[in-house]
Amino acid sequence: MIWNPERETMSRSELEALQLELLREQVAWAYENVPFYRQAFRARGLVPKDIRSLEDLQKIPFTRKSDFRDNYPFGLLAVPRREVIRIHASSGTTGKPTVVAYTREDLETWKEVCARNLVAAGITDEDTVQIAMGYGLFTGGLGWHYAAEHIGAAVVPTSSGHTKRQIMLIQDFETTVFCCTPSYAIYLAEQAEEMGVDLRETKLRIGIHGAEPWSEGMRKEIARRLGVDPIDTYGLSEVMGPGVSGECTYHSGLHINEDHFLVEIIDPQTEEPLPYGEQGELVITTLTKKALPLLRYRTGDITRLDPAPCACGRTMMRMERVSGRTDDMLIVRGVNVFPSQIETVLLQVEGVQPHYVIIVDRERGALDDLEIWVEVSEDIFSDDIGRLRDLQRQAEFEIREMLGISARVKLVEPHSIERSMGKSKRVIDRRDVY
């Protein structure tokens, strides 16, 4: 089944004509309504009219995550505040979050693109969709929620956590679709086994996954242990949230909703565009966003594109599963974590420049583990074990508050980090996420 055959199967030439039309509208919209873009265009001696072909896209300057920070909170908005009916936020590189906003029309678009992904995965109005992605400011939960509601499925908005309850509800509600990060799917399987529940014997049939990188090995394991067809999806809040692209049941790449998102691949160093098939950084231009049009956004995600037709009949270009990052951003349990954020927190809690290392690990059947080793310096040492424990707890609390995920803080002896990890490495990622 295809949700919107008219769009999803249109010929490449029709699609490109549509894209050009929308691109010109979007560029004009951004130029007229967002001072940031107007300045950027002027600095290059560029006006919207200069965009006459899809190739002209390359004349437009890039937008980066730091531009969100510099224009925090609403500097990139193209509409007056009363037009905005939703705000979401994700981690920024330091204290301030990355803020995104939606008009009513944007929410309609969001629903549409996510609905396409769900239908491409094989979901219908008869399914019961349990959404274990976090609800709230994170776009994952509410993004899939509205789309599942839109296609008429029954939505069970469990949000994240409470794993035993998730398993109980899968059984009791006869859930058919489970929506979560891939690592959580494996954790779920592990917990189910401990409870003596065989998830393959439940009504589960499809897994909607995303928000973090994963491998083909993980897909096989999820398929085997949950008895589902695990589907990869991709999105980021700056651009929209989930709904940028998603796999069909052929698992041969993620169909990009190209009538809403125009994609390029560039060499992250030279910033030159790369041809189809070559690996590089994904750059996205929104084509229909009203509140927050985004031109040539550097996602930091490494992938490649394939415009060849797909067996499913969709003509929308496919991107390969994301295979890396261009920066030091970590994704832990679906949450973006920047080492700079952790340093900020530790500095606040201890009042001194911390010696620390971030260790991310994924043990079999367990959730990603975020551990922060902090050396106990003379400045923070106390002979009262209770005070050290308080320090540890406070650091854990503050990290949870800032990142939205929990981390274990481990106090270690001075110099032990250098001894065991080598000099000045700030992050040890032991997972094989890509």
List contacts with other proteins (CB under 8 A).
Answer: 72-73, 81-82, 84-89, 95-97, 99, 101, 104, 125-126, 128, 135-137, 141-142, 149, 152-159, 161-165, 168-169, 172-174, 385-386, 389, 401-402, 404
- Closer residue to other proteins in complex, CB, 64/86: 86
What is the spatial distance between Cα 90 and Cα 110, in angstroms, rounded to a whole number? Answer: 17
List of residues 6+ apart from 263 with CB closer than 8 A = 256, 282, 283, 284, 285, 305, 317, 319
Tokens 């950084």 identify what position? 281
- Which one, 12 or 96, has the nearer CB to other proteins? 96
Least CB distance from residue 165 to other proteins, whole Å? 7
**Nearest approach, Cβ of 119 to other proteins (angstroms)?**
16
Would you call the peptide bond into 73 cis, given omega within 30 degrees of 0 as the criterion? yes
Q: 357, 427 in Cβ contact below 8 A? A: yes
Q: Residue 208: which H helix or E strand, with range?
A: strand 206-209
The pair of structure tokens assigned to 279 is 């690996």
Looking at the Cβ atoms of 166 and 288, the one nearer to other proteins is 166
Closer Cβ to other proteins, 172 or 327, answer by number: 172
E strand or H helix that includes residue 250: none
Minimum CB distance to other proteins smaller for 73 or for 309: 73
Give min distance, CB of 315 to other proteins, in A: 31
Cα(144)–Cα(128) distance, rounded to whole angstroms?
Answer: 13
Structure token pair of residue 180: 């979560």
In the complex with other proteins, which residue's Cβ is closer, 20 or 84? Answer: 84
Residues 6 or more apart whose CB falls under 8 angstroms from that of 179 comprise 129, 130, 131, 132, 133, 144, 148, 207, 208, 209
Query: Residue 42 and residue 373: Cα distance in Å, rounded?
Result: 47
Contacts of 239 (CB under 8 A, 6+ apart): 261, 284, 286, 294, 297, 299
End-to-end CA distance of the chain: 30
Distance CA 74, CA 101 (A): 8
Task: Please provide residue 24's backbone torsions phi and psi, each rounded to the nearest 5 degrees.
Answer: -65, -40
What minimum distance in Å lies between the beta carbon of 348 and other proteins?
10
Of 140, 64, 109, nearest to 336 by C-alpha is 140
CB of 43 to other proteins, least distance (A): 27
Q: Residue 326 or 392: which CB sits closer to other proteins?
A: 392
- Write down the least CB distance from residue 159 to other proteins, Å: 3
Nearest distance in Å: CB 9, other proteins: 28
Residue number with CB closer to other proteins (133 or 433): 133
Shortest separation between residue 425's beta carbon and other proteins, angstroms: 28
How far apart are CB 237 and other proteins at their closest, in Å? 12
- Residue 130 C-beta: closest distance to other proteins, Å: 9
The minimum distance between CB 169 and other proteins, in angstroms, equals: 7
Continuous segment of H or E residues that includes residue 428: strand 427-429
Q: How far is CA 208 from CA 63, 219, 231, in A?
A: 29, 11, 5
In this complex, which beta carbon is closest to other proteins, that of residue 236 or of residue 282? 236
What is the H or E stretch that residue 355 is in?
none
Q: 113: which 2 tokens?
A: 């693109």
| CB of 28 or CB of 412, closer to other proteins | 412
Identity of the residue, 9 or 394, whose beta carbon is nearer to other proteins in the bound complex: 394
